[in-house]
Amino acid sequence: MIEKFVPRSMKVTALLPVKGFRNAKQRLSLLLSAAEREMVAEAMFRDVLEQVVRARGLAGTYVVTGDDRVADIALSRGAKIVREPAENGETAAVDFARSRLKEAGHEAVLIIPGDMPLVRAEDIERLLAQVPEGAAAPFALLVPSHDRMGTNALLLSPPDIIELRFGYDSFSYHMKQVSAQGLPIRFIENDRIALDIDEPKDLEQLLAYDQGGEALRLARRLLAGDAENRRRSGGL
């Protein structure tokens, strides 16, 4: 259920698109079994959600999903659910949810995927600090992935100010959409937000960090036993 939002001053609603864990992260299959990938996907979502709900200044947190397990975890941390009718990909999920949020009066959304295990509450608060004070004004703020091929966070007001298309080269696409709306180009680079886990090289980057949450600890445990074999076979 989408709650009506009546702002006193403009705030931002967090929106996390999360699909079911069972078939997640197929590109990690060279390193992890299906069961291990499921565990890692869930751990990453828990890490991201924990930091989002801790962040100060959000009007609320919503998770768009069609999966019962994801919904149960989200509800247990105080997030609200936008129930996706069917899993048709990240773009379709976000489009569905942001239209519902806009209809309910939410002026701005911060779209944060659930596979960025290093993100911290302070990273989110730095993004929120970019929101103009006072009356709502159209704006868009983007955070790219490390290679600038992906878009790892978007702060949008109104929620549907630009057309979205996640996937390959999405950052360039979204920048063009911002320009097409006549808005100034705004983006912030943040190393922790920039790291999402899709491929073996992403896990390698994750393991290089000293501090992290449940996903980092799990990845270390899963990969520690046969790290040498993985290196010899071209993995980590």
- Strand 109-111 and strand 12-17: the pairing is parallel
* CATH level 3 topology of 12-228: Spore Coat Polysaccharide Biosynthesis Protein SpsA; Chain A (3.90.550)
Distance CA 54, CA 128 (A): 13
**Beta bridge partners of residue 140, listed in sequence order:** 156
Distance CA 217, CA 12 (A): 31
Which pLDDT belongs to residue 41? 97
- The total of other beta-carbon atoms located within 10 Å of residue 64's CB is 27
Put simply, whether the predicted model's pTM sits higher than 0.85 gets the answer yes
pLDDT tens, residue order, the chain (236 aa): 666 544 445 689 999 999 999 989 999 999 999 999 999 999 999 999 999 999 999 999 999 999 999 999 999 999 999 999 888 899 999 999 999 999 999 999 999 999 999 999 999 999 999 887 765 679 999 999 999 999 999 999 999 999 999 999 999 999 999 999 999 989 999 999 999 999 999 999 999 998 899 999 999 999 985 555 545 555 55
Q: What is the DSSP string of the chain?
A: -PPP---SS--EEEEEE---STT--GGGTTTS-HHHHHHHHHHHHHHHHHHHHH-TTEEEEEEEES-HHHHHHHHHTT-EEEE-SS---HHHHHHHHHHHHHHTT---EEE--S--TT--HHHHHHHHTTSPSSS---EEEEEE-TTSSSEEEEEEESTTSS----STTHHHHHHHHHHHTTPPP-B---HHHH----SHHHHHHHHT-S---HHHHHHHHHHHTTHHHHHHTT--
Contact 24, 37 (CB under 8 A): yes
* Amino acid letter, 163: E
Residue 90 backbone dihedrals phi, psi, to 5 degrees: -65, -45
Which pLDDT belongs to residue 76? 98
Distance CA 113, CA 131 (A): 20
Which pLDDT belongs to residue 6? 43
* Amino acid letter, 154: L
